[in-house]
Amino acid sequence: MRIVLIIFSIFVSTLSLKEIRPVIETPSDSGDTDDPAIWINPKDRAQSLIIGTIKEPAPAGALAVYSLDGKLVERVDNIDRPNNVDIQGDICVVTERLKRQLRAYRVFAVKPHLRLLGTAPVFEGEQGERGAPMGIGLYERPKDKALFAVLSRKTGPETGYLWQYRLRVSGNTLSVANVRKFGGFSGNGEIEAVAIDDSAGLVYYSDEDCCVRVYKADPEAADADTEIARFAESGFRSNREGIAITGDRIIVTDQLPDGSEYHVYSRADRRELEVWKGTAESTDGIEAIGVRLNPKFPNGLFVVMNSGRHNFQIYGLPR
């Protein structure tokens, strides 16, 4: 019965495959690109920015800032293997893997676009790669606007793989406090990609060889440590990687070397809707935004990391 179900899942995905092509690609000479985030300019969406990690040891490790036409407009160097990045409002936070810390920046419409607010250690007391931060998702709690970061790491236990921190920014300083250790792990592969659905108050993360798991985002919720759902359990040919949430869709990367695929699920019930076939190789991080930005991106955009050329591809968000 299990074999039949798997074959059926693959067959449905093939029937609903949609080929997509990038509108723009960023330069391919930046280094080992890994994860993108999108900053929406509140005064002029056409002047929004894409911020991506260059996952190299310092001094080559960097955050690269791109305009919507894919041009590199700023680079912040000397970050020690920046892994994943996320943005909430005008706050941009990146995991600095080799320093075992977070770096927080404020984003500005004019140069310098990224201005450092501070750094803070994470996974303190953890040994080896259990203390090496990778994925990050930022969550702003609606009731009090408290800002949190949910972090994954290079390796971890079968329970408590993720740590959640309360972030406080005062002037040009950053402080963090660990408020929760949660999250199940299959024990195979690793957990990197983390995404937060602020409006629904949910954390999504990719257990690479298993599924996408779902927990409550509020650390004070009564069932905060209970997995409330899992999906994306079948139909994948490689690792489950980046996650993006936009509009009524959840997008999950299938990290294929010959052209990654992106499984699209309903945000309401996590039912698979279709699969997009792109041209990027072995995609890791992705991000999407579903608002009109300019004439090239009337429905929003979808940004993916391309391992083949060490750059980012920018797609118009499919309808």
> pLDDT digits over 120-156, tens only?
999 999 999 999 999 999 999 999 999 999 999 999 9
In this structure, which topology does domain 2-316 adopt according to CATH?
Answer: Neuraminidase (2.120.10)
Q: Over 70: is that where the pLDDT of 12 sits?
A: no
pLDDT at 1: 39
- For the residues of the chain, what is the DSSP string, one character each? -HHHHHHHHHHHHHHTEEE---SEE--S-S--EEEEEEE--SS-GGG-EEEEEE--STTT-EEEEEETTS-EEEEE---SSEEEEEEETTEEEEEETTTTEEEEEEE-SSSS-EEEEEEEE-STT--GGGG-EEEEEEEE-TTT--EEEEEEESS--SS--EEEEEEEEETTEEEEEEEEEE----SSS-EEEEEEETTTTEEEEEETTTEEEEEES-TTSTTTTS--EEE--SS-SS-EEEEEEETTEEEEEE--TTS-EEEEEETTT--EEEEEE-S-SS---EEEE-S--BTTBTT-EEEEEETTTTEEEEEEPP-
pLDDT at 61: 97
Bigger pLDDT: 31 or 237? 237
295: number of Cβ within 10 Å: 7
For the chain, the average pLDDT equals 94
Q: Over 60: is that where the pLDDT of 15 sits?
A: no
Confidence tier at 11 by pLDDT (50, 70, 90): very low
Q: Over 90: is that where the pLDDT of 13 sits?
A: no
Q: Over 70: is that where the pLDDT of 97 sits?
A: yes
Q: Over 60: is that where the pLDDT of 266 sits?
A: yes
For residues 214 and 226, the answer to whether their CB atoms sit within 8 Å is no
Q: Over 90: is that where the pLDDT of 31 sits?
A: no
**Whole-angstrom distance, CA of residue 235 vs CA of residue 224:** 29
Domain boundaries of the chain, sorted by first residue: 2-316
Q: What number is the average pLDDT over the span 55-70?
A: 97
Q: What number is the average pLDDT over the span 226-254?
A: 97
Q: What is the sign of the dihedral through the CA atoms of 171, 174, 175 and 179? A: positive
Confidence tier at 319 by pLDDT (50, 70, 90): confident
Alpha carbon of residue 218 to chain centroid:
19
318: number of Cβ within 10 Å: 16
Q: How big is the chain by its Cα radius of gyration, in Å?
A: 18
Q: What number is the average pLDDT over the span 251-278?
A: 96
Q: Which tokens sit at 159?
A: 């329970």
Residues in a beta bridge with 262? 253, 276
Confidence tier at 22 by pLDDT (50, 70, 90): very high
